[in-house]
Amino acid sequence: MFEQRDRVVLVTGAASGIGAAIASAFAAAGARVVLTDVTESAGLALAEQIRAQGHSAEFRRLNVTDEEDCANVAGQVLTRHGRLDVLINNAGIGHVGTVLETNGADLDRLYAVNVRGVFNVTKACLPTMVDRRAGAIINLASIGGVVGVRQRAAYCVTKFAVVGLTKAMALDHSHQGIRVNCICPGRVETPFVKKMLAGYPDPAAAYREMCATQLTGRMLHPDEVAAAALYLASDAAVSVTGTAFIIDGGWSAGK
Ligand SMILES: NC(=O)c1ccc[n+]([C@@H]2O[C@H](COP(=O)([O-])OP(=O)(O)OC[C@H]3O[C@@H](n4cnc5c(N)ncnc54)[C@H](O)[C@@H]3O)[C@@H](O)[C@H]2O)c1
């Protein structure tokens, strides 16, 4: 039921953190993985590492904010593989700040990647899925798309939007055989979080605080998010669409 053999899977933001874990997990499960990212060197190196393990992976440079780039990469995937089975919209960026500590440019920057990026890549990839009446789209939202998070004003705006877009797309396209879901992780220990921690006056104290927001007392590992993506893309999840799948160590259970 969890089989991914020969499925063609495109992952955005695959050069680092959660995207890298997802790309590796799908490749190990037998998929043909197209890793994409703006960061070319790390993406190429990871694709090579996956191939060295005997799995199928290739890297293509893709800036999700660039519509032309998205159309080109979608076209290249079709030319090479003939179809796209799974799209994982993972690329995302963060910002720490209240509304007063966030300027319009910060909000626009986050919106461009986290929301327009998901929109752009999906718009480029969806028509072929509709033609084949099959596909799974998985968006990386966040627990910041389910509950408010202190000092994450711009980030919450974008992640609530990703949850909304996921549900709207599920309504529009599930009857065409395309399941659309998003994953809402709590804190996951990745370069994204490490970069954020470095901006705090006391990074060690901030680290402890970030671990404590999960009832489990620890941050998640990127592989735990990859496991959820594998499930949501698999036939085991054939009836799962329009959901915001929470993996947050109990963060949102209550106070
Ligand atoms: N780490 C967490 O705690 C956490 C929690 C919840 C949700 N998320 C979400 O998971 C996703 C991945 O986060 P991560 O922690 O692995 O981050 P990360 O910073 O480790 O990796 C993000 C990747 O996205 C790429 N990227 C950034 N802008 C891009 C663009 N314009 N086009 C293409 N690629 C771009 C980066 O180069 C990087 O490789 C994000 O959407 C993030 O919001 C992360």
DSSP string, 5-55: TT-EEEESSTTSHHHHHHHHHHHHTT-EEEEEES-HHHHHHHHHHHHHTT-
155 counts as catalytic: yes
Q: Identify the CA nearest to 185 among candidates 213, 150, 157.
A: 213
Tokens 């990871």 belong to residue = 46
Instruction: Output the CA 128–ligand 1 centroid distance in Å.
Output: 26
pLDDT band (50, 70, 90) for residue 2: confident
Query: Does the structure show a pLDDT above 90 at 183?
Result: yes
CATH 3.40.50.720 spans which residues of the chain? Answer: 8-185+221-245
| Ligand 1 proximity of 64 Cβ (cutoff 6 Å) | yes
The whole-number average pLDDT for the span 55-76 is: 98
Which residue stretches of the chain are H helix?
17-28, 40-52, 67-81, 104-111, 117-132, 153-173, 191-198, 203-212, 222-233
Interior angle at CA 99, CA 67 and CA 209, nearest 5: 100
Per CATH, which fold does 8-185+221-245 belong to?
Rossmann fold (3.40.50)
The 10s digit of each residue's pLDDT in 216-248 is: 999 999 999 999 999 999 999 999 999 999 999
CA-closest residue to ligand 1 atom 8: 142
Ligand 1 center–CA 65 separation, angstroms: 13
Whether 166 contacts 181, CB under 8 Å: yes
Q: To test the ligand 1 pocket, which listed residue (190, 213, 225, 252) has its Cβ within 8 A of the most ligand atoms?
A: 190
- Inter-residue contact 169 to 181 (CB < 8 Å): no
First to last CA, the chain: 36
Q: How many Cα atoms are found within 13 Å in the side-chain-facing hemisphere of 205? A: 4
Is the pTM higher than 0.95? The answer reads yes
Q: pLDDT by residue (tens digit) across 110-128?
A: 999 999 999 999 999 999 9
Measured in Å, residue 30 CA sits from the centre of ligand 1 at: 24
Q: Which residue, judged by its Cα, is nearest atom 21 of ligand 1?
A: 16
Whole-number average pLDDT of the chain? 97
**pLDDT tens across 133-144, in order?**
999 999 999 999
Atom of ligand 1 nearest to the CA of 220: 3
Question: Structure tokens of 97?
Answer: 């700040």
One-letter identity of residue 144? G
Reported as a pLDDT band with limits 50, 70 and 90, residue 185 is very high
- Note whether 220 and 189 are within 8 A (CB): yes
Of 196 and 71, the one with more pLDDT: 71
Residue 181 has pLDDT above 90, yes or no: yes
Which atom of ligand 1 has the smallest separation from the CA of 14? Answer: 39
Q: Which pLDDT does position 161 carry in this prediction?
A: 99
- Best of 10, 11, 12, 18 for a ligand 1 pocket test (most atoms within 8 Å of beta carbon): 18
How far, in Å, is the centroid of ligand 1 from the Cα of 177?
A: 28
pLDDT for the residue 167: 98
190 C-beta closer than 6 A to ligand 1: yes
> CA 66, CA 100: separation in Å to the nearest integer?
29
Cα–Cα nearest to 177, from 73, 115, 86, 74: 86
